[in-house]
Homo-oligomer: A and B are copies of this chain.
Amino acid sequence: MNPDRELTSPKVSRVTIKDVARQAGVSTATISRVINKKGQVAKETIDRVWATVHEINYIPQAAAKGLRIQKTQTVGFLVGELSAPFQLDLLRGIESASRESGYSLLIQSTCRESFPDHLFRGVGEHNTDGLLVLVGSMTEKDILYFYERDFPLVLICQSAPQNLPIPYIVLENKSGARKMMDHLIEIHGYCRIAFLRGPSSQEDSHWREQGYYEAMEAHHLAVDPALVGIGEFDEKVAKETVRKWMNENADIDAIFAGDDESAIGAILAIHEAGKRVPEDIAVVGFDDSYLTHANIPPLTTVRSPIEELGRKGMQQLVQLIQTRKADSKILLPTELIVRRSCGCNYIERD
């Protein structure tokens, strides 16, 4: 576009620990001791070293340190496709926790990954001390590969394959769904409740569906198989499913969508059919993701503590790296968020 500019080669050649040593009149060993606060160093020496460090703007090179101590002080976050809004909350939790623990954070999406070779995986033992693996971002085969090499791995939203002792952290999906269903049934008296399931391979999806069945059974309500449709955690897919129900004039009191995205799709389809939410049909979601509160009507949903999921997951990973131990399983509680799309009379405060 615009004219190029020319850059000279770096004005300042890298300053190394040797420069600091020379300048401060001590050995590199002492510099290292001061910077890493290890070993005994005279108070005055410490001060002189720090002064020099600042004076000449010394910053230790990570690669050299890493090579020497055989640690990268870096963790990796693996994600399938970067697109679902909850990933930003997750990332926020992950980033802050890693930073607080003194680890750098490498992030890699594996969706259109096409590494010719295991050599060239973007992230792994060669450049990280451990990996945080979001469901769907790594094949079971690869998980096993790392496990066999005892490389620290923490799984998010996914339990360990083959019951291996790989630490993982998941949401309380079933009880969350159960709470939602109880609300729909007990408070509103809905009986004909449809369910929009997520991807069948997803554990979150699976447990939410189980919660739906469990609640129906507990309240002696029959599940109409025709009212369990595909939502795929996708707005468009859900919309299509609900559109079909609308066309068939299906008898539905409420739709429990497997996640907020599909809930949006459901609402859109219902409006398209000229009906109202929640007056004609209630719609509720799961996750309490971005903007659900600003929906019209504001969406009743189950809050997933996504940022916390990221934070805790990262804390587990760091602990695993440093002590080789971690909780094998962490279950994060979910919370019912009642707004108006279920038929309640909630008023948004701000």
A interface vs B, CB < 8 Å?
Answer: 1-12, 14, 35, 53-54, 57-64, 66-67, 70, 72, 74, 81-83, 85, 87-88, 91-92, 95-96, 99, 104-109, 112-113, 118-119, 121-127, 148-151, 165, 167, 235-236, 239-240, 264-265, 267-268, 271, 290-291, 294-296, 320, 324-331, 348, 350
Is A61 touching B126 in the complex (CB atoms < 8 A)? yes
Is A92 touching B83 in the complex (CB atoms < 8 A)? yes
Given contacts A5-B167, A54-B118, A271-B296, 12 further A-B contacts (CB under 8 A): A5-B328, A7-B324, A8-B324, A12-B149, A59-B125, A81-B92, A82-B92, A85-B85, A88-B88, A96-B109, A99-B113, A290-B290
Minimum CB distance partner of A65 in chain B: B63
Is A7 touching B271 in the complex (CB atoms < 8 A)? no
Is A3 touching B328 in the complex (CB atoms < 8 A)? yes
A95-B109, A112-B96 known; A59+B8 contact, CB < 8 A: no
Minimum CB distance partner of A332 in chain B: B1
**Cβ contacts under 8 Å, A329 to chain B:** 1-2
Minimum CB distance partner of A110 in chain B: B99
Is A124 touching B291 in the complex (CB atoms < 8 A)? no
Is B109 touching A108 in the complex (CB atoms < 8 A)? no
Rounded to whole Å, the gap between the CB of A15 and the closest CB of chain B is 10
CA A266 – CA B211 in complex, angstroms? Answer: 37
**Which of A123, A148, A350 has its CB near the most chain B CB atoms (within 10 A)?**
A350
Cβ-defined partner of A88 (8 Å) among B87, B240, B296, B327:
B87
CA A107 – CA B11 in complex, angstroms? Answer: 26
